[in-house]
Amino acid sequence: MKRTVTHLADGRELIYFDRRDDADRGAADTRDLPPRPLASELRHDPLMDEWVAVAGHRQSRTFLPPADQCPLCPSAPGKASEIPSGDYDVAVFENRFPSFSFNTGEYADVGGLSEVRPGVGRCEVVCFTSRHDSSFAALSPEQVDLVLLAWADRTSELSALPGVEQVFCFENRGAEIGITLAHPHGQIYAYPYVTPRTKQMLASASRYRERTGGNLFADVLAAEREAGTRVVASNAHWTAFVPAAARWPFEVHVYLNRQVPDLAALDDEERAAFGPLYTDVLRRLDGLFGVPMPYVAAWHQAPVREGRELAYLHLQLFSIRRAREKLKFLAGSESAMGAFVNDVLPEEAARLLRSEGNF
């Protein structure tokens, strides 16, 4: 793998990851860009004991441009994009409209009981391929391996930044999910705090260890592999299954068959084994209703400083589509109370995904 670091016209970092050592990434960004926005402000919710980022500058971010104006496609004569090179394998750059950054300013007290502090951290965009009309499911095993190497690289680099407590790699796919750019891409958030979901999972894992002496995630995986009824696909290194208490109509968790804290800890064989299994699961999802499945793919990694001995790297993949022309909306119970009601029996979801066969 060749790793090339350069900068965009406004100073943001751009990193190319290439399979070829002779890849030329010397093209410069010739655009005249405005100054980078100040970091968001973090406001503490005393009722939930959670941090909320307020980032007003994100209102002006690019929203569903036509394909010939896509900022994630390679630059071409007369069309400069976020990626100056005329082609690329995988490209990662600092988000132009970040939820978190180190470009901090002054943040006034808002009164009440809410503490305010700068939203330090970093947000990056990961372009999986230069092809605008492709998808993660269409990537070759070699290309998926390169994406994994990029994720691992960014996890290590971002974890070392001052004030970063957790690194989150994810992909949003589909207009129904709320994407603003259709080009195949994901994002990485380097948070200045441990996220609520991670804190809750680690707390559950800690209680489980005190009670049983075991690792909660490893035991969940072992139980699902033994039961088999919700397993969708597996190989020597990975297992994909529908969780017994799935919240979403179609939800698949992809676990490594050994405990590691994060993507940087994967070995060569594990990376190579991930692509064929994961893209097969994605194609099964697309095949369910004959239309591209909107989804969120979220990597759960250990925080930078806490709970690393408890955490267990895994991918949570879920869709809001419950039928060909029906979506699962988070209405009163889910949005107001955080109490999910699933419309699809998890065992039936697993059966339907298995029935799609191998692609």
Tens-digit pLDDT profile for residues 208-258: 999 999 999 999 999 999 999 999 999 999 999 999 999 999 999 999 999
Pairing of strands 166-173, 122-127: unpaired
Distance CA 150, CA 330 (A): 33
- State the amino acid at position 175 in one-letter form: A
Which residues of the chain form beta strands (DSSP E)?
A: 2-7, 13-18, 41-45, 50-54, 90-94, 116-118, 122-127, 166-173, 185-191, 231-234, 238-241, 250-256, 295-300, 314-319, 321-323, 326-327
- Which of 44, 57, 183, 185 is flagged as catalytic? 185
Which CATH number describes the domain made up of 2-193? 3.30.428.10
How large is the C-alpha radius of gyration of the chain?
21
Active site residue 253: no
**Contact by Cβ (8 Å): 235, 277:** yes
In which residue ranges of the chain is pLDDT below 50? 358-359
Could you give the residue range(s) of every CATH 3.30.428.10 domain in the chain?
2-193, 197-355
pTM of the model: 0.97
- The CATH number of 197-355, from 3.30.428.10, 3.30.70.2660, 3.90.700.10, 3.30.479.30, is 3.30.428.10
287: left (phi over 0), alpha (psi -120 to 50) or beta: alpha
What pLDDT, on the 0 to 100 scale, is given for residue 358?
44
